[in-house]
Amino acid sequence: MGYSARRGFSNGSMRPTGAQRQAEMQQKIQQMQEQMTAAQEAVEAQVFTASVGGGVVEAKVNGKKEVQSISIKPEAVDPEDVEMLQDLVVSAVNEALRQADEAMEKSISGVTGGLNLGAFGL
């Protein structure tokens, strides 16, 4: 075992021990978890808007996938064709939810660098 003013006491090897590597990995995982949480919270705070039918129906959802509002212009209301209005509302909500999902995926993949963390339950 030798002593170096720069490295202190060592066994002559510059390589980190298993415990040091594990500690470094745990620190990196903790940082990634914090970044993922921040990215997720940022997306959850956003509002996603989708309009269909030439803008006669508009849906707004947040990143938590909660519907914030539905706007329907009077010209979309036809008592003879309620099904069309229902379809427009469903389409607008689904599109806004798709946008929220896409934003969340993009935000998380930016943190993970495209790693598939599904195997880890994340």
Q: Which domains does the chain have, with CATH numbers?
A: 16-113 (3.30.1310.10)
If you count DSSP H runs as helices and E runs as strands, how many of each does the chain have, helices first? 2, 5
pLDDT computed for residue 71 by the predictor: 96
pLDDT computed for residue 42 by the predictor: 93
Which of the four pLDDT bands, split at 50, 70 and 90, describes residue 40? very high
Instruction: Kindly report the average pLDDT of the chain as a whole number.
Output: 86
Burial zone of 48 (CB within 10 Å; 0-12 exposed, 13-18 middle, 19+ buried) = buried
- 80 SS3 class: coil
pLDDT computed for residue 106 by the predictor: 92
Enter the pTM of the model.
0.69
- For 60-108, the pLDDT digits (tens) are 999 999 999 999 999 999 999 999 999 999 999 999 999 999 999 998 8
